[in-house]
Amino acid sequence: MKKKDDILKIGKYEFNSRLLIGTGKYPDFQTMKVAADISGAEIITVAVRRIDFNAKENLLSYIDLDKYILLPNTAGCYTAEDAVNTLMLARELDVFRTDLVKLEVIGDQKTLYPDNEELLKAAKILVKEGFTVMPYMMDDPVLAKKLEDIGCPVVMPLASPIGSGLGIRNPYNIKIIKETVSVPVIVDAGVGTASDACKTMELGVDGILINTAIAGAADPVNMADAMKKAVEAGRQAYLSGRIPMKLYAQASTQMEGIVF
Amino acid sequence: MKIELNGNEYSVEQNGITIQKLIDELKLDIKSTAVAVNKTIISKSSYAEFMLKENDKIDMVTIAPGG
């Protein structure tokens, strides 16, 4: 498939890039800006927080709103009610050009694993409110189906815990999720380095959301470039159809015509 | 009179103040500011009329770094 025809569709929105990035944990806003630019991402996630009246600079002045779609998240919310209220409040901000939202309802402080029950509850309310809900979820195919059934036009299973850099811990579940739902699957959280991103894309998922692996790298801008290439390479390899794995060798040079 | 603004005590003129006036006073960009009063979200269209009362708890939010 030609790359230009390979579009990521989330609800009514279409994207050329399959790499989504976060804006957290960068050493400074300028580094975030350059990394975002080089990553080729079209969607970048942000949090909604109380204004710091003493702040010397603000994130917004480093983001070109004509270039990126800002995706508000519900990081730090532990109940459906808090997550819904956060996004309803976010809706009053004119910086969000779309109704896309990243829904996360955390269930445990140590693992930052999502709370399935609260996630479903919040997703139902937000879908009814007209949001295009992108739920961060466990790598659970049953839950993925439930979220699709209630109207989420994408599901976002984790590869491993947020910020852990452990890479994809259960590739089989991710594959099953991909086969279970007909909406796009974006792997969100856990990628550590470029090979993780590439392998994840090779499974056939539709995109990856990466924050810490880029922002926390010794050279975030260079890592953003590496992630961009890894996501593209993984996607291209998936579309190309890899060879099956075999236990024994298969000569790549023909034997016919051999002299000695 | 005193209100609570983003968790801190804040003094405004005695006769009360609208949300719009408070935003102007703080030199905030209205496009990137959302407001809740006593945890109730206030729509932008009512900022000009909404009078804040003594001891109201105001949350003013914007975007922040996040993943």
Greatest CA separation for chain A: 82
Q: How far apart are CA A239 and CA A77, in angstroms?
A: 37
- C-alpha B33/C-alpha A60 separation (Å) is 11
pLDDT for the residue A4: 63
Structure tokens at A16: 């050329």
**In terms of Cα–Cα distance, which of A152, A253, A213, A174 is closest to A24?**
A213
pLDDT, position A83: 98
Q: What is the pLDDT of residue B16?
A: 85
Count of CA atoms in the C-beta half-sphere (13 A) of A61 = 8
Of A25, A59, A209, the CB nearest to B63: A59
Which residues touch A236 (CB under 8 Å, ≥6 apart)? A3
Rounded mean pLDDT, A77-87: 97
Pick the catalytic residue from A25, A33, A67, A102. A102
Q: How near does any CA of chain A get to the CA of B1, in Å?
A: 20
Instruction: Give the percent of chain A with pLDDT over 90.
Output: 95
The pTM for the full model equals: 0.93
Mean per-residue pLDDT for A17-42? Answer: 98
Show the CA angle centred on residue A186, arms to residues A181 and A187, nearest 5°: 110
Count of positions (residues) in chain B: 67
One-character DSSP codes across A136-156? EE-S-HHHHHHHHHTT-S-BE
Cβ contact, residue pair A48, B64, below 8 Å:
yes
Residues with Cβ within 8 Å of A171's Cβ and at least 6 positions away in sequence, in order, are A199, A200, A203
Spatial contact of A43 and A102, defined as CB atoms under 8 Å apart: no
CA nearest to B44 within chain A: A92
Which token pair is A111?
């693992």
pLDDT for position A153: 98
Mean pLDDT computed over every residue of chain A: 96
Q: Which residues of chain B, if any, have pLDDT below 70?
A: none
Q: How far is A36 from chain B (nearest CA, A)?
A: 13
**Using CA atoms, how far apart are residues B34 and A181, in angstroms rounded to an integer?**
36
Q: Do A25 and B67 touch (CB under 8 A)?
A: yes
Reply yes or no on whether the pLDDT at A243 is more than 80. Answer: yes
A240's enclosing H/E stretch is helix A220-240
Query: Residue B57, exposed/middle/buried by CB under 10 A (0-12, 13-18, 19+)?
Result: middle
pLDDT in tens, A186-198: 999 999 999 999 9
Average pLDDT over residues A80-89: 97
**Which pLDDT band, with edges at 50, 70 and 90, does A1 fall under?**
low
A1-15, A122-136, A144-158, A210-224: lowest mean pLDDT where? Answer: A1-15
